Structures are given as structure tokens and as C-alpha cells.
Amino acid sequence: MKPEAASSLLPSIDGARLWASLMDLAQIGATPKGGVCRIALTDGDRAGRDQFVAWCKAAGLAVRIDEVGNIFARRDGTDPAARAVATGSHIDTQPTGGKFDGNFGVLAGLEVMRTLNDQGIRTRAPLEVVVWTNEEGSRFTPVMMGSGAFAGVFAPDFIRSQKDVGGATVGDELARIQYRGEQACGDVPGGMYAGYFEAHIEQGPVLEDAQLPIGIVSGALGQQWYDVTVTGMDAHAGPTPMPLRHDAMLASARMIDEVNRIALAEAPHGRGTVGYVNVKPNSRNVIPGAVSFSVDFRNAAQDGLDRMDAAMRASFPAIAAGCKCDVEIKQVVKFEPCAFDAACVSSVRQAAQELGLAHMDVVSGAGHDAVYVAQVAPAGMIFVPCKNGISHNEIEDALPEHITAGGNVLLRAMLAMAGVESRG
């Protein structure tokens, strides 16, 4: 039978089943406030992985695991020479995480497979759904380590040697939870993916504010993180006159305000955040002699990040000198801006249009596994709204109709690339 147009054959996913799977997975590591604590490579993560693998095997998918614990579940196509079309995300969470971050992308991929089984639809290319190891980075660093190893950014030995605060290594914990596989990172049967699609909640307020159910993700903001240390002089708060102080906190406060100004100058895609501050000696009647803080800069273009970096490096020493202090700036993370594959982005847009779903182009402000996968395969993302834009929080929430809409867009985008061979 000749391949037929996907749009003439495609059913809709079972939105109720997808929602029920999300709620079932959320019971593993459920928190009293309605969230999820399923930190990477803990017993909770093992239980979540076991549940996913059991669901995949029940759907007739072939499961394999690579050397850093990434899980791949494959549905064969009719063409043994065709490269697979993949989807996926992560199921590890923040300590006070929610039900949808990462989990939606994984279970939407599983629902695509279940729907094709229900309808007897065969694709020309194989399909895969992936669970990437330790996307969150809340226990082990670096973040997105599984997809990073898959893309060749990190060596598997380096990943397995990383330790948590208690000294346990990734390699030891993978072995302990029985998810250290034999497959080499990046070794995909039949060759690297023809395309990769990741469905995700937006983790921001843009779609909800626009009252739109689908975001067509064109790329992701680049990120540069810094550790900043300001050094002054501890001194008694009473006897030391204001003009004679070496106040590291005063200098830091002015620098933090400058971070905000730098980001505002890069509207609409500039972001500047200070999320961590440590003050020494941290006593109410002592002028602080040392302050360390983080800086997180994000921008859609590398030249924008370069301008933000230059502005910080020009202004911080001047601010420090004005407060009779010294400053040290150390860059600790760099993710270049990511532009997703034009064909994948177009496929997502076409799927939304065919379904009659209102949509808009968006840029992801957060990092996702798709950013690393995009370095080795064509990739794209689908966003759906989350309530009040809140994520990494136990109250993270989404509407069932938006979850269903995102799943249906994923179904169509994957099949447009994989090809519908027959319907039995």
C-alpha cells in the first residue's frame, strides 16, 4: 500500500488516558501539597522509571538503556533502513516539583505510541520515546546531563564520576537503581534521529496571557551564569562612619540593581537574575566584609549575551571601587542560543493549523533536553500553557484540554516526518 497523507488517517490521542497517566506517575514521589519529589537516581526515580518501562512494554515497545541511564522505547516502522523519529523529555523533578514539567513530554510520547496501536497505524520510520537522565540537576550537576552525554557534550565517564553532596557518584547510583545500561551514548539503531520533538509546559506566563493553547518554539535563550565575589572589610556598625566604610553589601546591592538594568536594556529577550546571595559575617551589627552572589544572564542572541557580559564587566569594578571594595567575576556556565530546525518548527506549526488550534511563536527561556539533541539531530518543541506560568513548584498545573491539544500536535508532527505507511 502506498503511503497516504497523514492528515487523512490520523486519529486524536486519548486525552483522558494521557491525563490519567500523568496523575498515576505523579503518585510516585507525591508531596503533601500536591506536587512531586522524584529526584534523579533516587529510589523514587527508579520507581518512576520502572513504571514507564512497564507501560512501554505493555504497549509492545522495545526498551533499551544507555550507559548514563537514558531510556529509549522503540516502535518499529516498515522501512528497516529509515532513521527513527523521536520524542521525549525527563521524569526527574525538583525537590518541590510539579506533575507536568518533563513528565508531560514523556507521557505524550507514550500516548502517541498507544494511539497508533489502537488504530493499527504503521509508520514508515521507527518512532521512539526517550526519558533523559537528570535533566533538573537538583542532585547532580551538570543539568541536562543525559541528553548532553547523548549529544557528545559530556563524556560518559565524566558523567558517571559526578558526585552529590553526600559523595555518591552517578555511576554508583545508576548501578544501585539498576539503570546503568550497555548501549553507548548517542548510538541509535539505524543512525541518528531524522527528527526529535519535545512537548513541554511553557514554564512561563506568555501563552496563558495570550489565551493561546499552543506555542511554536523557534529556539531557546542562550544562558551565561557567573559567580561574583565582592570583598570589603568587616567593621563595627556603630563606630565606623559611613564615608570610611568598605561595605561589600552596599556594593553588591548596587551590582544587583545593575543586573536588572542590563537585562532591561536587552528587551524583549534579555533576562537578568540574581538568585543566590551569601553575606559574611551575616551579623546585624557588623558591616559585611564579603558577599558572594550568582548572576544568570539570558538572551536570544549571542551578541546580546556578549553585550550583557561586557556591561557587567565594565560596571561592576566601577561600583566596587566606589564602595572601596574589590570584585571578582567568574563565568561558570555557558549555553549558546539555540535555533531549532526550520523543518521541525514548520511541522509543529502545520500540525497546529490542521487541528485548528490557535498558536503563536515563542522562544524558550529555560533549557531543555531538546537544546542538546538539536546539536546532533533536527529538533523542535511544542509548548502548552501552565497555570499562572508557575513551574518548579508543587502547585504547578495545566488544563486537560491544553495537555490534549499538545499531544495531538505532537502526534501529527511526528507522523508528518515518519510517514504513515498503512492503517490496519
Tell whether omega for the bond before 142 is within 30 degrees of 0, i.e. cis: yes
pLDDT band at 222 (very low <50, low <70, confident <90, very high): very high
φ/ψ region of 66 (left if φ > 0, alpha if ψ in -120 to 50, else beta) reads: beta
Question: What is the rounded CA–CA span in Å between residue 357 and residue 344?
Answer: 18
Residue 424 has pLDDT above 90, yes or no: no
In this predicted structure, what is the pLDDT of residue 100? 98
Strands 359-364 and 420-423: unpaired
Question: What is the rounded CA–CA span in Å between residue 204 and residue 214?
Answer: 13
The DSSP element (H or E) to which 384 belongs, if any, is strand 379-384
In this predicted structure, what is the pLDDT of residue 4? 42
Backbone φ and ψ of 292, nearest 5°? -120, 140
Residue 373 has pLDDT above 50, yes or no: yes
pLDDT band at 421 (very low <50, low <70, confident <90, very high): confident
Tell whether omega for the bond before 268 is within 30 degrees of 0, i.e. cis: yes
In this predicted structure, what is the pLDDT of residue 7? 53
In this predicted structure, what is the pLDDT of residue 1? 35
Cell of 270: 534579555
Using alpha carbons only, what angle is made at residue 374 by residues 206 and 152, rounded to the nearest 5 degrees? 135
Question: What is the rounded CA–CA span in Å between residue 147 and residue 375?
Answer: 10
Tell whether omega for the bond before 337 is within 30 degrees of 0, i.e. cis: no
In this predicted structure, what is the pLDDT of residue 230? 98
Classify residue 66 by its DSSP letter: B
Say which residues have a Cβ less than 8 Å from residue 382's Cβ, sequence separation at least 6: 197, 198, 199, 200, 214, 215, 216, 217, 348, 406, 409, 410, 413
Each residue of 232-280: pLDDT tens digit? 999 999 999 999 999 999 999 999 999 999 999 999 999 999 999 999 9
Each residue of 73-101: pLDDT tens digit? 999 999 989 999 999 999 999 999 999 99
Identify the CA nearest to 143 among candidates 90, 106, 197, 196: 90
Backbone φ and ψ of 389, nearest 5°? 70, 15
Identify the CA nearest to 301 among candidates 405, 223, 380, 200: 223
Alpha helix stretches (DSSP H) within 265-367:
302-322, 342-354
Cell of 353: 493549523
In this predicted structure, what is the pLDDT of residue 360? 98
Beta strands in 31-151 (DSSP E): 62-65, 71-75, 85-89, 121-123, 127-131
Compute the mean pLDDT over every residue in the chain, rounded to the nearest whole number. 96
In this structure, the number of other CB atoms found within 10 A of the CB of residue 397 comes to: 17
In this predicted structure, what is the pLDDT of residue 9? 56
Backbone φ and ψ of 350, nearest 5°? -60, -40
Cell of 375: 546539536
In this predicted structure, what is the pLDDT of residue 3? 39
pLDDT band at 184 (very low <50, low <70, confident <90, very high): very high
Which structural domains are found in the chain, ordered by start?
6-220+337-423 (3.40.630.10), 222-335 (3.30.70.360)
- Tell whether pTM > 0.85: yes
Identify the CA nearest to 348 among candidates 359, 338, 336, 333: 359
Each residue of 335-362: pLDDT tens digit? 899 999 999 999 999 999 999 999 999 9
DSSP string over 150-176: HTTSS-HHHHHH-B-TTS-BHHHHHHH
Contact, 135 vs 73, CB < 8 A? no
Residue 298 has pLDDT above 90, yes or no: yes
Question: DSSP 3-state assignment of 361?
Answer: strand
In this predicted structure, what is the pLDDT of residue 227? 96
Residue 102 has pLDDT above 80, yes or no: yes
pLDDT band at 8 (very low <50, low <70, confident <90, very high): low
Backbone φ and ψ of 252, nearest 5°? -65, -40
Contact, 78 vs 120, CB < 8 A? no
Question: What is the rounded CA–CA span in Å between residue 245 and residue 265?
Answer: 31
**Can you tell me the mean pLDDT for 376-391?**
97
